[in-house]
A and B are shown apart, each in its own frame.
Chain A
Amino acid sequence: AQTVTQSQPEMSVQEAETVTLSCTYDTSESDYYLFWYKQPPSRQMILVIRQEAYKQQNATENRFSVNFQKAAKSFSLKISDSQLGDAAMYFCAYAGGTSYGKLTFGQGTILTVHP
């Protein structure tokens, strides 16, 4: 079975600074996808960024980028130029190759952004 571990229950960052959220995973599959989802308080989960395991290049989406270390099974999220609206619970998630929607989530990291 696949597992996803987020070892940072809480993180904080000053507005405009950079923060990195950590995630490790375990799988025996070769075809898989990794995601970071954001869940603001009382709002629905939204996809921040995704990474296909077969791609060596790290994914980027505007201020969000990942550091994907396949051999180490590590998948961290870097948020640059943090904004107040980035404050949320962030979940790292894994999906096997046949379905993006059948996700295994980590425990989450609460991100606080200080003005």
Chain B
Amino acid sequence: DTGVSQNPRHKITKRGQNVTFRCDPISEHNRLYWYRQTLGQGPEFLTYFQNEAQLEKSRLLSDRFSAERPKGSFSTLEIQRTEQGDSAMYLCASSFQGRGEAFFGQGTRLTVV
């Protein structure tokens, strides 16, 4: 198993554009989590899925953000009408069941110019 994979690793976009990130979890993991990490800070929880069901969304996840996990496999995080404040590292993690250790991907670094 190659671990949690995130693509792209880096994304530069113009303000107002839409962007989509992908996360491929470890294959047998049924839980998938998204976090946002700004420079020099700890990650902040955004949302998580159990299989294909999105079970919780943070208040940080504004209406411009949407996450999906079709068929309970990979997940996508879309940001519409990006703003400069969206510039951050977006981390994905997965775990097997609720009490399994969370394994993190390397993240997607978004820069909005």
Binding site for B on A (CB under 8 A): 4, 37, 42-47, 50, 91, 93, 98-108
Contacts and interface: CB of A to CB of B under 8 A. Distances in A.
B102 A47 contact: yes
Interface stretch (B16-24, B43-51, B61-69, B73-81): B43-51
Contacts of B35: 103
B31 A101 contact: yes
Interface residues of B, number: 26
Contacts of A50: 101
B4 to A, nearest CB: 7
Nearest to A33: B99
A99 B93 CA distance: 12
Nearest to B33: A101
Interface of B: 3-4, 31, 33, 35, 40-45, 48, 56, 91, 93-95, 98-102, 104-107
Interface of A, helix, strand, loop or mixed by DSSP: loop
Given A99-B98, A104-B45, 9 more contacts: A44-B105, A44-B107, A45-B43, A45-B91, A91-B43, A100-B101, A103-B102, A106-B42, A107-B42
A10 to B, nearest CB: 11
A113 to B, nearest CB: 19
A94 to B, nearest CB: 11
A42 B91 CA distance: 12
A105 B38 CA distance: 12
A98 B100 CA distance: 10
B100 A44 contact: no
B91 A103 contact: no
7 closest residue pairs by CB, A with B: A105-B42, A101-B102, A45-B104, A99-B98, A101-B95, A44-B106, A44-B104
